[in-house]
């Protein structure tokens, strides 16, 4: 069985903290040893910066540095992992019993409205581009902005430049990732693309109504496109109850509590650290079981079939995982749960990696 995970934020949460992911770490969710122990064969590593770049030169410079970092990690672990930049290499490297690393660039803002920078990232090995993060670009609107800031959006969906980006990605064989994309962007892309798309780390809106999840109509449209939805393991995306309680902490009552608690500390880092600890403690009782991951898989399978669902755990990119799933060594629990629910070996193989490989192959030049 090939296990392909389409989204991991190790490059931003672990390496930027100065940790050596070549070694087994006590912090975070993943590193090279834990990914291999968990049975991961193919890992898409996210290249991402938030709404403000780390470098004064901008987002593109951030992306190039993270790719440099991933290449350096690979060179230090040549017996354990290799990077691939096309489908043929992926298939070849799997046979070598190594972790296959792939590059996914998260957020169209990383290309800085410049088609030449898209081209350079492709040459560096970018296998997918997530069209937006939570922040919209000048050419594509995000799910957060379409949902929460619709009145201030300059446009919804793709504009002319956005349509050029989609066409260029199809030409180059770069997978289009619609996680984080707004509904209008989602449907604009599906009306234009000639290749199947992915949602690299999203879950089911009907089971947890969060703006980052996808609704039933989107799931059906994705299936018609022959794409794949890769389930995100974040507690708020898996559980409506967890998400509701978390939203309360972000509201007025939560802000009052935050102000009070942070008033006890002078240092900014202490303010952040102890508020995060408070939030974690308050939400602990609402964390769903890891079996909730299988509920989201079940939902998609029952609606559109076995061919359109995969795994995109978002490890090291979320602040809460479900009870029982603590880090990358726990992937076998998902397989065990699917077996308990009656999934066949061939079905589990599709969910674990074959569906993603199918989309990767369909996009290949």
Helix (H) or strand (E) holding 259: helix 252-262
- What mean pLDDT comes out for the span 116-139? 98
| End-of-domain residue from the set 258, 286, 314 | 286
Asked if the model's pLDDT at residue 218 lies above 90, the reply is: yes
Q: Residue 266: what pLDDT?
A: 85
Q: Work out the pLDDT band at 270, boundaries 50, 70, 90.
A: confident
Q: Residue 65: what pLDDT?
A: 96
Regarding whether 135 and 62 lie in a shared domain, the answer is yes
| End-of-domain residue from the set 286, 311, 345 | 286
Asked if the model's pLDDT at residue 261 lies above 90, the reply is: no
Regarding whether 293 and 254 lie in a shared domain, the answer is no
Per the prediction, the chain carries an average pLDDT of 96
- C-alpha closest to that of 169 among 140, 147, 204, 203: 140
Regarding whether 266 and 153 lie in a shared domain, the answer is no
Between helix 59-76 and helix 115-123 the angle, nearest 10°, is 0
Cα dihedral value 242, 248, 249, 255, nearest 10: 170
Which range marks the domain in which residue 254 is found?
240-286
Percentage of the chain exceeding pLDDT 70:
100
Regarding whether 146 and 249 lie in a shared domain, the answer is no
Asked if the model's pLDDT at residue 19 lies above 90, the reply is: yes
Provide the CATH number for the domain around residue 217. 3.20.20.140
Q: Work out the pLDDT band at 237, boundaries 50, 70, 90.
A: very high
Domain count for the chain: 2
Query: How far is it, in rounded angstroms, from Cα 351 to Cα 307?
Result: 8
Regarding whether 167 and 262 lie in a shared domain, the answer is no
Regarding whether 304 and 267 lie in a shared domain, the answer is no
Q: Residue 242: what pLDDT?
A: 97
Asked if the model's pLDDT at residue 334 lies above 90, the reply is: yes
Neighbours of 161 (CB within 10 A): 15
Regarding whether 71 and 125 lie in a shared domain, the answer is yes
| End-of-domain residue from the set 286, 317, 349 | 286
DSSP-derived letter for residue 154 is S
- What mean pLDDT comes out for the span 189-217? 98
Regarding whether 246 and 128 lie in a shared domain, the answer is no
Regarding whether 15 and 43 lie in a shared domain, the answer is yes
Regarding whether 336 and 197 lie in a shared domain, the answer is yes
pLDDT tens for 301-326 read 999 999 999 999 999 999 999 999 99
Question: Side-chain half-sphere of 187: how many Cα atoms within 13 Å?
Answer: 7
- C-alpha closest to that of 136 among 107, 175, 174: 107
Q: Residue 9: what pLDDT?
A: 98
Regarding whether 251 and 135 lie in a shared domain, the answer is no
Query: How far is it, in rounded angstroms, from Cα 357 to Cα 239?
Result: 28
Q: Residue 153: what pLDDT?
A: 87
Residue scoring higher pLDDT (268 or 244) = 244
Regarding whether 85 and 173 lie in a shared domain, the answer is yes
Q: Residue 260: what pLDDT?
A: 87
């Amino acid at each position: 069985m090939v296990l392909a995970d389409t989204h991991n934020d190790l490059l931003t949460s672990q390496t930027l903290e100065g940790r050596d992911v070549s070694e087994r770490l006590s912090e975070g969710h993943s590193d090279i040893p834990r990914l291999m122990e968990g049975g991961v064969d193919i890992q898409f590593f996210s290249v991402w910066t938030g709404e403000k770049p780390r470098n004064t030169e901008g987002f593109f410079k951030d992306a190039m540095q993270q790719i440099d970092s991933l290449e350096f990690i690979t060179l230090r672990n040549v017996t354990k992992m290799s990077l691939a930049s096309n489908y043929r290499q992926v298939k070849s490297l799997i046979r070598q019993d190594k972790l296959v690393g792939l590059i996914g660039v998260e957020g169209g803002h990383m290309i800085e409205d410049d088609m030449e920078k898209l081209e350079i990232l492709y040459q560096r090995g970018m296998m997918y581009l997530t069209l937006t993060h939570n922040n919209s670009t000048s050419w594509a609107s995000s799910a957060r902005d379409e949902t929460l800031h619709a009145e201030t959006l300059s446009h919804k969906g793709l504009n002319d430049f956005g349509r050029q980006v989609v066409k260029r990605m199809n030409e180059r064989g770069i997978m289009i990732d619609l996680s984080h994309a707004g509904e209008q962007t989602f449907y604009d892309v599906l009306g234009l693309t000639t290749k199947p798309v992915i949602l690299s780390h999203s879950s089911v809106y009907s089971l947890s109504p969060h703006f980052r999840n996808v609704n039933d109509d989107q799931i059906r449209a994705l299936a018609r496109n022959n794409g794949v939805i890769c389930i995100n393991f974040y507690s708020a995306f898996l559980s409506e109850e967890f998400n509701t309680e978390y939203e309360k902490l972000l509201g007025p009552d939560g802000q009052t509590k935050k102000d009070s608690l942070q008033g006890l500390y002078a240092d900014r880092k202490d303010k952040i650290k102890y508020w995060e600890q408070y939030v974690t403690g308050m939400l602990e009782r609402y964390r769903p079981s890891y079996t909730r991951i299988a509920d989201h898989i079940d939902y998609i399978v029952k609606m559109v079939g076995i061919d359109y669902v995969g795994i995109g755990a978002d490890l090291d990119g979320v602040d809460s995982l479900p009870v029982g799933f603590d880090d990358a060594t726990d992937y076998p629990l998902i397989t065990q749960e699917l077996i308990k629910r009656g999934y066949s070996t061939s079905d589990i193989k599709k969910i674990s990696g074959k569906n993603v490989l199918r989309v990767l192959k369909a996009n290949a030049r």
